[in-house]
Structure 1
Amino acid sequence: MNARPAPQFPPWPQYDDTERAGLIRALEQGQWWRMGGDEVDSFEREFAEHHGAAHALAVTNGTHALELALQCLGAGPGTEVIVPAFTFISSSQAAQRLGAVAVPVDVDPDTYNLDPAATEAAITPRTKVIMPVHMAGLMADMDALAKLSADTGVTLLQDAAHAHGARWQGKRVGELGTVAAFSFQNGKLMTAGEGGAVLFPESELYETAFLRHSCGRPRDDRRYFHRIAGSNLRLNEFSAAVLRAQLRRLDEQVALRDERWTLLSRLLGAVDGVIPQGGDVRADRNSHYMAMFRVPGIGEDNRNALVDRLVAAGLPAFAAFRAIYRTDAFWEIGAPDETPEAVAERCPNADAISADGVWLHHRVLLADEEAVHATAEIIAEAVAAG
């Protein structure tokens, strides 16, 4: 590769005096946990309103958000949860830690999202939840999955860890009538270092979740009458104050990322051997947590070497998620009664993407157009050098 100055990308996380003021506000209110302060309550109201949901419940992290949502939806021993075979491992482990069996299902080779036909084929009498992941911020086929849910009676749970501010046919995540879980981990589109949230379309399930996230204890309890089993998944006031500030700039950042992805995907599409993540016109707002592309046929070892070349050239590049059934962790507990190769045989797209996929952190899409052009040039040179 030719020596060139590394492109300049904005730092992440981003913050300004809004976060500083929020932290001071949380500090000086004198109560630093949600039961005595106002920051978590305020953030929940604001996040729910922003995403069109009736209720939001803030929790400690995105994995806990999934676990809590699944528990409230009845996942547990004797049940199965359908998850994409290509996703971050938390999607499956959230179900497995509850004692449910996580069933990997193949994804679309263009969008990397859960394949509805493969999902339908995987449903059994034990299937309790279908969990689509909105990969990289591109929403899964919610029309087909909603119909499948209605036809079979199997509940949908949106893993929206990548999809803050995304829309499907004009509807925000919280307007699609299902529970949805978000992450605020350090690299996510909004962050307080860690954190998560669950959106609920109605009150009864939300109230159950509130109890479970607070050791089963009602808000007004003074005598330790824990009504149901739960854990301490409460978000603290400082994190909520930061997230309130992060939420205020989300829309502007989503719009900029979408504009830059239009440019970058066009440039990458012109590179021989590179195929950028596709789209779906019904997903009319993509939040672009990642800028993803494939180099079909490259093979895992060469893909990893490609990522190393990109990192050396100054790009925040990463290998794609490993297909969940290709990890030892997946088989420790709550795995289907199959071999890894048997799962791989019915998940060829997930297997291929995990070997030939690359992603760039979304701060690449917050840079100026010059940096986007430079990014595409670096990728073209790095692919050609392989």
Structure 2
Amino acid sequence: MNASRRTAPVFPEWPRYGDEERAGLIRALEQGQWWRMGGSEVDSFEREFAAYHGAEHALAVTNGTHALELGLQVLGVGPGDEVIVPAFTFISSSQAAQRLGAVAVPVDVDLETYCIDVAAAEAAITPRTRAIMPVHMAGHFSDMDALGKLSADRGIPLLQDAAHAHGSRWRGSRVGETGSISAFSFQNGKLMTAGEGGLVLFPDQASRDEAFLRHSCGRPPTDRKYFHQTSGSNFRMNEFSASVLRGQLSRLDEQIDTREQRAPVLRRLLAEIPGVVPQGRDERADRVPHYMAMFRVPGIGEQRRNELVDELVARGLPAFVVFRAVYRTDGFWETGAPEEGVEALAERCPNSEAIASEGIWLHHRTLLGTEQQMHEVAEIVADALGEK
């Protein structure tokens, strides 16, 4: 590498951990019961996470994909139904519906926030539509005012994909206070992590009770004679994961505070670079945890974008290409795909196409750095972009 090239400062490592996780793991080990039916860590984590997010009911599960699948099951989604999803999202959003035999219907996203375009979602509704799944991309809330009205007017429930949205608020309301089911992920890169894991928040006890049955092979918690009341699978979280996540939750607020301070600085600096457009922010989202620092380079094209990411990585930045539009993956077409082909979907999802080919994201640990480091990050992006 040319010695004159700017290279990245040292950012905090991820995952972060400390005495809270160590104590939790020992506590889980020594209680003598390592699964949720006999231990206390999962139960405690569910209570703590629900309280933090303003919800009455929570159910911890094996991962975020299963959280989405379980939420859809509780909403009654099954074979032949349609679920509206953003075209620009991680593939789990669509596959959770497709695994239930439903059809995933991709719609475009907003070019500023990268969240679902509500007008596009409304236009995609048919008599078979059973749910709409907004994804709070990079921790930025989708337009819950417009989505809530659409849901109420058309009688179609929302399932919030909140895999990036731990600790988010929309006009003062936390995720659990928005009145719909929401699903979280604790995969290794997420804002809270135990390597893997997920959780579903529910607005009522009946939904949570049904979800418990379905996540535990249809078996109620008091059953001793194998009376399986519903179909289901084993989505139960173990005690060790829950103990780690209790520690992770204890430092989430402080980390969000830091990222909320750094993100506006980095966004301003990136916006000053010719040709760079950072992800926008809807100011009604009054607390954003910033799962990713995302930006676009309009017109760069996928190949040059990929080369730019490689250059940023070579300089020490934790940079990544963004998700593909879900319909541009082979896995999307295996089952539960709409009748439209790739190009027809692409034509009605121009914003998703643009973001997928022009977008870059920086790992959220970047935003745990110092304010001076935000200047250094922007200098590296500008320097690398000038060579492309």
Which stretch of structure 1 is more off in the superposition, 1-10 or 73-82? 1-10
Alpha-carbon separation, structure 1, partners of 2:108 and 2:296:
16
TM-score, normalised to structure 2, is 0.99
User: Which one of the candidate residues 129, 144, 149 is aligned to 2:151?
Assistant: 149
Matched position secondary structure for 1:45: helix
User: Which one of the candidate residues 273, 281, 284 is aligned to 1:282?
Assistant: 284
Matched position secondary structure for 1:249: helix
Residue in structure 2 matched with residue 182 of structure 1 by the alignment: 184
Matched position secondary structure for 1:197: strand
What is the one-letter code of the residue matched to 2:387? A
Residue in structure 2 matched with residue 358 of structure 1 by the alignment: 360
1:202 CA displacement: 0.4
User: Which one of the candidate residues 341, 344, 348 is aligned to 1:342?
Assistant: 344
- How many residues align? The count is 386
Residue in structure 2 matched with residue 34 of structure 1 by the alignment: 36
What is the one-letter code of the residue matched to 2:217? C
Matched position secondary structure for 2:167: coil
Map of 1:237-256 to 2, 5 A cutoff? 237-256=239-258
User: Which one of the candidate residues 248, 268, 271 is aligned to 1:269?
Assistant: 271
Residue in structure 2 matched with residue 81 of structure 1 by the alignment: 83
Residue in structure 1 matched with residue 193 of structure 2 by the alignment: 191
1:372 CA displacement: 1.3
Alpha-carbon separation, structure 1, partners of 2:87 and 2:168:
22
Residue in structure 1 matched with residue 306 of structure 2 by the alignment: 304
Alpha-carbon separation, structure 2, partners of 1:382 and 1:100:
44
% identical aligned pairs:
72
Task: Tell me if structure 1 keeps the 8 A contact 2:8–2:380.
Answer: no
Residue in structure 1 matched with residue 62 of structure 2 by the alignment: 60
Residue by residue, what CA displacement relative to the aligned partner does 1:179-222 show, whole Å, maximum 9, x if unpaired?
A: 00000000000000000000001000000000000011011111
Residue in structure 2 matched with residue 116 of structure 1 by the alignment: 118
What is the one-letter code of the residue matched to 1:148? L
What is the one-letter code of the residue matched to 1:27? L
Alpha-carbon separation, structure 1, partners of 2:239 and 2:376:
41
Residue in structure 2 matched with residue 44 of structure 1 by the alignment: 46
Residue by residue, what CA displacement relative to the aligned partner does 1:83-105 show, whole Å, maximum 9, x if unpaired?
A: 00000000000000000000000
1:5 CA displacement: 4.2
Post-superposition, which runs of at least 4 consecutive aligned residues in structure 1 deviate over 3 A?
A: none
What is the one-letter code of the residue matched to 2:137? M
Residue in structure 2 matched with residue 132 of structure 1 by the alignment: 134
User: Which one of the candidate residues 220, 227, 230 is aligned to 2:229?
Assistant: 227
Residue by residue, what CA displacement relative to the aligned partner does 1:25-75 show, whole Å, maximum 9, x if unpaired?
A: 000000000000000000000000000011010000000000000111111
User: Which one of the candidate residues 8, 11, 17 is aligned to 2:10?
Assistant: 8
User: Which one of the candidate residues 376, 384, 388 is aligned to 1:374?
Assistant: 376
Alpha-carbon separation, structure 1, partners of 2:373 and 2:317:
10
Alpha-carbon separation, structure 2, partners of 1:81 and 1:383:
39
What is the one-letter code of the residue matched to 2:220? P
Matched position secondary structure for 2:70: helix
What is the one-letter code of the residue matched to 2:172? G
Alpha-carbon separation, structure 2, partners of 1:341 and 1:78:
23
